[in-house]
Structure 1
């Protein structure tokens, strides 16, 4: 009676061992032929919008998270002070033009008198120099006018491209300081995905390989992509920070310490209809290596 039970146990044990070997082998070949990670994140170019001149905000033309097109007005700073600067610069030009005209007239009179030795050469040279100074002053005034017009144009702030306005807390009446970021602009033509792959997987990934991105919010709508590049530096907690510009990747621990994860940049080919990309959201990334490489 014990023999059949022993045989059954051996068969079951052997079957389980074979299944474990098969599953392990399949998982290994899958990891080699199709590196995959669920540690992915949607990214995009985020531009900090700041005014290039200071002043009180008199108009906010957008609302938070609004989609805008390149050239759309975002907000406007009170232009009165800058309009006055333009008028002042124009008045200075008129003055400089009159001074130049007078200097040229005086120069012509003195040079004519020099022909009969009625004046000295030194006086004639001084007259010529006065004309050159007056002309230089006029040129500087013209530059000042162009600068004033440029500052006036900066009182209207426009969208730098197609995208979304976000983190907008600006209100009419607020004071905008030169260079201080007021809102964030997400460039809708710059989305990509970072897939954070184990360093042991990188040998199976090359730029140009096909990639499939699956957003957690749209599991039924995979996005085709291509490997653009592989990160060349990472920083980990607990170590000296190499640079603030280097991505910091948290170390992962399980039963044993796992390999470090390295960002792989995936460029998206075409986003399916109905899928809205949001910076920072989660994605899974599978890479299909190009066997011809």
Structure 2
């Protein structure tokens, strides 16, 4: 009786082992040999690290750890008193530069009026010169006839010299006033440049003031929050991260010997440890242009004589097409990836 039970047990065990071997063999023949599988895969996302553009003490924090935010939401505020004062100073500089420009424009208009006055004086001097010339010609004819005295003739001769000098003086005055107009034009250009510079400085001050309010550039979940009320933050220091968990993908690192049949667009089955029975689907999106070692911070140098051949891995990006509603994927999770390298119906 015991032998019968023992033989029956051994037979059942052998049948079970045979069934497992047959099942595994059938799975490999029909599916497994047409798939590339790796456990070296991780969930990835475009994590946005936020740092303030201005320095100061944090007055208010508008988010908590792991909070969901939308693009444009206020994350935190920095004390803006110094930046408001700088903006007021910049406004005053703009007003001063604009007043200087207005003053130069007024001086230019006044100078043009002075030039017009000098031109009128020149016309008067020219008329006086013409009269003096005519008077001199008459006296010269009369002095030949001895009908006027020598004193009168000399007086008319001095009058024409005086008229010529007045014309020259008027012409020189107009030339000087025109040169001053050129100086005013140059000063106006300098004042215009100073106004533009002051307006640019005011714009920068306004930008700094606006940057005291830090907003979310993208939608996602807040993580790695370092910002706290009362903390002094400096320019460029990361204060928190935003993870767009709705826009994630998988990076699977396949051995170089497994890349032969992998192509863009091939279907992918994905499983993660947290949801072992969830059916996650995707497609091959792209293959990296180099192995992971090629993009490392310090690439391996095999010219030292200590060469050891190691199979390299190449990152393959997998775009997710179907995620069950109960599955919550976040960057950093480990995954198991299976790429089907042939289409249905091509397995024969």
Native 8 Å contact 1:96 1:141 kept in 2:
yes
CA distance 1:242–1:37, change in 2 (3 Å): closer
**1:253-282: CA deviation from partner (whole Å, max 9, x where unpaired):** xxxx98433221101123221211121111
Q: Which runs of 5+ in 2 are unaligned?
A: 1-16, 120-172, 300-308
Counterpart of 1:229 (choices 281, 286, 297) is 286
- Paired position in structure 2 for 1:279: 331
Inter-partner Cα distance in structure 2 for 1:258 and 1:244: 18
Inter-partner Cα distance in structure 2 for 1:47 and 1:245: 25
CA distance 1:245–1:281, change in 2 (3 Å): farther
The CA RMSD measured in Å over matched residues stands at: 2.8
Inter-partner Cα distance in structure 1 for 2:23 and 2:246: 44
Task: Tell me if 1:185 matches 2:238.
Answer: no
Inter-partner Cα distance in structure 2 for 1:33 and 1:268: 21
Alignment of 1:1-293 (within 5 A): 27=28, 30-115=31-116, 116=119, 117-118=173-174, 119-236=176-293, 243-244=296-297, 259-291=311-343
Native 8 Å contact 1:205 1:287 kept in 2:
yes
Inter-partner Cα distance in structure 2 for 1:28 and 1:261: 26
What is the SS of the residue equivalent to 1:212? Answer: strand
Inter-partner Cα distance in structure 2 for 1:138 and 1:110: 22
Which has the larger displacement, 134-143 or 54-63? Answer: 134-143
- Paired position in structure 2 for 1:253: none
What is the SS of the residue equivalent to 2:259? Answer: helix
CA distance 1:104–1:271, change in 2 (3 Å): same
What is the SS of the residue equivalent to 2:76? Answer: strand
Inter-partner Cα distance in structure 1 for 2:213 and 2:322: 34
Inter-partner Cα distance in structure 1 for 2:114 and 2:205: 42
| TM-score normalised to structure 2 length | 0.69
**1:111-149: CA deviation from partner (whole Å, max 9, x where unpaired):** 232342454332111011111111111121111111111
Inter-partner Cα distance in structure 1 for 2:329 and 2:27: 33
What is the SS of the residue equivalent to 1:35? Answer: strand
Native 8 Å contact 2:43 2:330 kept in 1:
yes
Native 8 Å contact 2:292 2:312 kept in 1:
no
Inter-partner Cα distance in structure 2 for 1:160 and 1:290: 41
Q: Which runs of 5+ in 1 are unaligned?
A: 1-15, 247-256
- Shift of the alpha carbon at 1:211? 1.1
- Shift of the alpha carbon at 1:90? 1.2
CA distance 1:226–1:245, change in 2 (3 Å): farther
**1:213-248: CA deviation from partner (whole Å, max 9, x where unpaired):** 111111222211110111222245xxxx754298xx
**1:42-82: CA deviation from partner (whole Å, max 9, x where unpaired):** 11111211000111111111112212111111111111111
What is the SS of the residue equivalent to 2:239? Answer: strand
Inter-partner Cα distance in structure 1 for 2:64 and 2:29: 50
What is the SS of the residue equivalent to 2:260? Answer: helix
Native 8 Å contact 2:254 2:316 kept in 1:
yes
Inter-partner Cα distance in structure 1 for 2:103 and 2:85: 27
Count how many residue pairs are aligned between Structure 1 and Structure 2.
263
- Shift of the alpha carbon at 1:23? 5.7
Inter-partner Cα distance in structure 1 for 2:298 and 2:106: 62
